């Protein structure tokens, strides 16, 4: 997932990300995360204790993944997404691994 | 400006607002404010000390009004806007007056 920080909002940042394919299952234990689809189609797979399900978003649709909920974004076609989250939020949350991007200073 | 809180993001809220006409000049001394235009066309008039100018946004475009900067949203046609700001942010900021909407609990 390529992502670029395009603006700051207090101690939050607004990012644009392009995604194609399956990202990685991860959790942000400390924060909610806002996804707004700009173009394409995004499936956010979610699992939490005994619940599991998908949220499918088209352009102009949004979803907030609550803190602590494990999720995996998936896009079959190239999809552009706007994210809003606190500065320093790691893209792979608690999962780490090769897809982890360094947090960018504003 | 009719506005509805559609989601929460930690201690922020995401609102959808419809605007037609001129809002009121106001300032949020404590917070930045994110505007994303969903449909229509939004002009954000800005003034700050010796600077003055307009930002004009079409669908999918966004702007963050920095804290402390006096601004006045204006829409010639009916315009739908997504706002992201801390819970309890008053729509008229420090200006008050008849357009002030009560803060809505999440």
Spans in chain B with pLDDT lower than 70: 103-106
According to DSSP, the residues that pair with B43 across neighbouring strands are: B56, B74
pLDDT of B106: 43
Q: Which helix (H) or strand (E) holds B63?
A: strand B62-65
Burial A57-72 (b: 16+ CB within 10 A, else e): beebebbbbbeebbbb
Nearest to B30, CA basis, from A9, A70, A83: A9
Q: Would you state the structure tokens that stand for residue B69, as one six-digit string?
A: 């900067």
The residue whose two tokens read 């010639």 is B76
Q: What are the chain A neighbours of B86 within 8 Å (beta carbons)?
A: 10
DSSP 8-state assignment for residue A95: -
- pLDDT tens figures, A33-82: 999 999 999 999 999 887 889 999 999 999 999 999 999 999 999 999 99
Q: Tell which of A7, A12, A29 to mutate to test the B interface (max B CBs under 10 Å).
A: A12
Nearest CA in chain B to A63: B7
Q: Would you state the structure tokens that stand for residue A100, as one six-digit string?
A: 């982890």
The residue whose two tokens read 């607004």 is A14
pLDDT of A104: 54
Domains present along chain A, CATH in parentheses: 2-86 (2.60.120.10)
Nearest CA in chain B to A15: B62
DSSP 8-state assignment for residue A103: P
Give the torsion through C-alpha atoms of A6, A85, A16, A2, to 10 deg: 110
Q: Which percentage of chain B shows pLDDT scores above 70?
A: 95
Using the predicted structure, report yes or no on whether residue A106 has a pLDDT greater than 50. no
ipTM for the predicted complex comes to: 0.90
């Amino acid at each position: 997932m390529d992502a670029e920080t395009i603006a700051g909002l207090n101690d939050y940042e607004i990012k644009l990300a392009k995604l194609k394919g399956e990202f990685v299952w991860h959790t942000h234990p400390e924060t909610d995360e806002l996804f707004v689809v700009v173009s394409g189609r995004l499936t956010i797979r979610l699992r939490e204790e005994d619940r599991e399900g998908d949220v499918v978003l088209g352009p102009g649709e949004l979803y907030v993944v609550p803190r602590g909920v494990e999720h995996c974004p998936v896009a079959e076609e190239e999809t552009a997404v706007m994210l809003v989250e606190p500065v320093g939020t790691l893209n792979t949350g608690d999962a780490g691994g090769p897809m982890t991007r360094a947090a960018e200073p504003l």
